Amino acid sequence: MEPMNANSSRLDVIDALRGFAIVSIMLLHNIEHFDLYFSPGGLPEWLKLVDKMLWDSMFFLFGGKSYAIFALLFGMTFYIQWHNREARGEDFRPRFAWRLTLLLAFGLVNSMFYHGDILSIYAVLGLALIPVARLRSGTVLAIAVILLLQPYAWLEFFQALPNPDEKLADPASWAYFGRANDYMAHGSATDVWWGNLTNGKVGVIRWSWENGRIFQIPALFMLGMLAGRKGVFKTTPENKRYWSRTLLVAVLAFIPFYLLKSYPEAWHVGQAVQRPLLVIITSWSNLAFMVVLVSGFALLFYSWRWLEFFSPLGKMSLTSYVVQSIVGTSIYYGFGLGMYQSTGASFALAIGIMLALVQRQFSVWWLKRHKQGPLETLWHRATWAGSPA
């Protein structure tokens, strides 16, 4: 299949898929109160049941998958920019390193409001694309597969085999998140900003390490780059067949991984062995379902263009992501409206849907007047400062 050419620098399906990921991230963040976990008391039993069903359904659909879609598309975008510059005889890698530095700055600002920010992590792990950009596709795929296998979790597994029933301490990240709940619920805005940049950021990095995301994210970047090389998002009959086959394989892989993940007690192994195995199986389960979502979305997009509804958000994904953190934490945290105290999953999901619709309409309005979103424009201009863009 021919590689994507410079004129394909923006594919409609990519914008729509990125917008879909932004919406699903927003809905998850809302029902989590942006990591301020709290269940309001005094709710009727029927509403508690509905809340639990919504919570479980949302995390089944999007938990661990939405950020993975974002990571895949991050690698895809890198390929498009790389290819366009290569066509001009330029090496994009130094400029990409600077672009990641700028993304880190955006991420640190976003982290002040929401410690679960993914931009700063992407900015650091995105450096992994620089040494692989010119490698053969087979080599890049091999590296990605090794990372997806979760090598550190396997090391922990083998280390645990001599004492499989050893009782493990709680993951280190839990202590950081416990401290975070206090300043999120009761602290001032400056308490939250400082706490998120110090305590919260360390907790999120530890959590990402404990759950294998430090390995999975760069692997997804590389797979996105390979998807760009193969041109799999172009609208062709061959690609429709490709996504149909991919969907079938992903569904068949997801079912056993999900069942294994859901019932670890059925493994009949000690905690010291179970914990790293659960990290491995969970990461594979999420990866498989992410592929189900991506392939299903691509097939639907080729058939029904109504999914372009998400495109304005996808074209302004950086702005959308940062704005949802600022608005969301102002709604739920103690320094703002403090609505974590009164919103269960149902009410919070309704708020998330409303915010997504408002943000989508803002994106439509803005893009009628500008080529890019406000933060996208700033990022683009700073990236290409001193060079023709």
* Arithmetic mean of pLDDT, 260-270: 94
Residue 19: inside a domain: yes
Nearest to 123 by CA among 95, 143, 102: 102
User: How far is 164 from 203, CA to CA, in rounded Å?
Assistant: 27
Quote the pLDDT of residue 3: 38
What sign for the dihedral angle of Cα 172, 176, 181, 184? Answer: negative
Q: Which domain holds residue 45?
A: 6-383
| Cβ neighbours for 17, distance < 8 A, ≥ 6 positions apart | 69, 73, 294, 297, 298, 301, 310, 314
pLDDT-derived band at 2, boundaries 50, 70, 90: very low
Quote the pLDDT of residue 8: 38
pTM above 0.85, yes or no: yes
Q: Find out whether 185 and 39 touch, Cβ atoms under 8 Å.
A: no
pLDDT-derived band at 388, boundaries 50, 70, 90: low
Residue 34 zone, left/alpha/beta (φ > 0; ψ -120 to 50; rest): left
Residue 1: inside a domain: no
Residue 100: inside a domain: yes
> Judging by beta carbons within 10 Å of its beta carbon (0-12, 13-18, 19+), is residue 184 exposed, middle or buried?
buried
Mean pLDDT of the chain: 94
Quote the pLDDT of residue 389: 52
pLDDT for residue 324 is more than 60 = yes
Q: Angle at Cα 353 formed by Cα 350 and Cα 357, nearest 5°?
A: 140
Exposure string for 133-155, b = 16+ CB within 10 A, e = fewer: beeeeeebeebbeebbebeebee
Q: Angle at Cα 318 formed by Cα 317 and Cα 322, nearest 5°?
A: 115
pLDDT in tens, 182-218: 999 999 999 999 999 999 999 999 999 999 999 999 9
User: Domain total for the chain?
Assistant: 1
Quote the pLDDT of residue 6: 35
Between the alpha carbon of residue 91 and those of residues 82, 83, 133, 251, the distances in Å are 7, 9, 10, 39
Choice among 136-145, 229-238, 354-363, 364-373 with the minimum mean pLDDT: 229-238
What sign for the dihedral angle of Cα 102, 108, 111, 117? Answer: positive
pLDDT in tens, 14-53: 999 999 999 999 999 999 999 999 999 889 999 999 999 9
User: How far is 322 from 375, CA to CA, in rounded Å?
Assistant: 9
Q: What's the farthest any 2 CA atoms get from each other in the chain?
A: 65
Say what percent of the chain tops pLDDT 90: 92
